[in-house]
């Protein structure tokens, strides 16, 4: 049996569908960035509210608050464990979280409520960098 050298219309359409996105990419979707204290406050307020309602789908800002908080605590851990950052946060030696205003384990929604509460008590931090709000919320344990 001989194969025909002509390409079917379906094969041409499939090739066009696979190749065209390379030449005409989809427009970039803007992703929210947490830069200011107000951005962090709003994202964490959404997380605290979502925890109470548990409606689906989960709002994007809920994920941004979780990502920011995870990155914040991971950064503290790296500062404590790397030679360059030794002693910046932890005068206690072994515990990188000794200066953090936390007693025991916390869930993301508990940490988010702490951010929201700190933002409400310190509205001047909402217009500054997000890290200032996070530091105020979690680093108020004396003598650190």
Q: 55-103, pLDDT tens digit by residue? A: 777 677 788 988 999 888 888 777 777 766 665 554 555 565 666 767 6
* 113 compared with 82, residue with greater pLDDT: 113
Cα–Cα dist 106/144, whole Å:
20
Average pLDDT in the 124-136 region? 93
* Residue 2 neighbours by CB distance under 10 Å: 4
Distances in whole angstroms, Cα of residue 14 to Cα of each of 11, 19, 26? 5, 9, 18
Q: If you search the block for the tokens 């950052």, which residue do you land on?
A: 85
Percent of the chain with pLDDT over 90: 25
pTM of this prediction? 0.67
Closest alpha carbon to 138 in 40, 35, 32, 34: 40
Q: Counting Cβ atoms within 10 Å, is residue 119 exposed (0-12), middle (13-18) or buried (19+)? A: buried
Determine the Cα–Cα distance for residues 69 and 63; give it in Å rounded to an integer: 10
């Amino acid at each position: 049996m001989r194969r025909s050298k002509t390409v079917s219309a379906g094969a041409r359409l499939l090739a066009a569908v696979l190749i065209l996105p390379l030449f005409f990419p989809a427009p970039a979707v803007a992703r929210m960035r947490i830069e200011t204290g107000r951005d962090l406050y709003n994202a964490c307020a959404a997380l605290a509210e979502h925890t109470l309602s548990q409606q689906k789908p989960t709002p994007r800002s809920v994920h941004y608050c979780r990502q920011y908080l995870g990155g914040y605590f991971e950064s503290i851990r790296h500062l404590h464990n790397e030679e360059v950052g030794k002693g910046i946060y932890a005068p206690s030696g072994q515990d990188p979280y000794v200066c953090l205003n936390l007693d025991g384990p916390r869930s993301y929604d508990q940490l988010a409520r702490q951010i929201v509460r700190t933002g409400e008590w310190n509205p001047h931090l909402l217009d500054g960098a997000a890290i200032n709000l996070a530091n105020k919320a979690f680093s108020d344990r004396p003598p650190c």
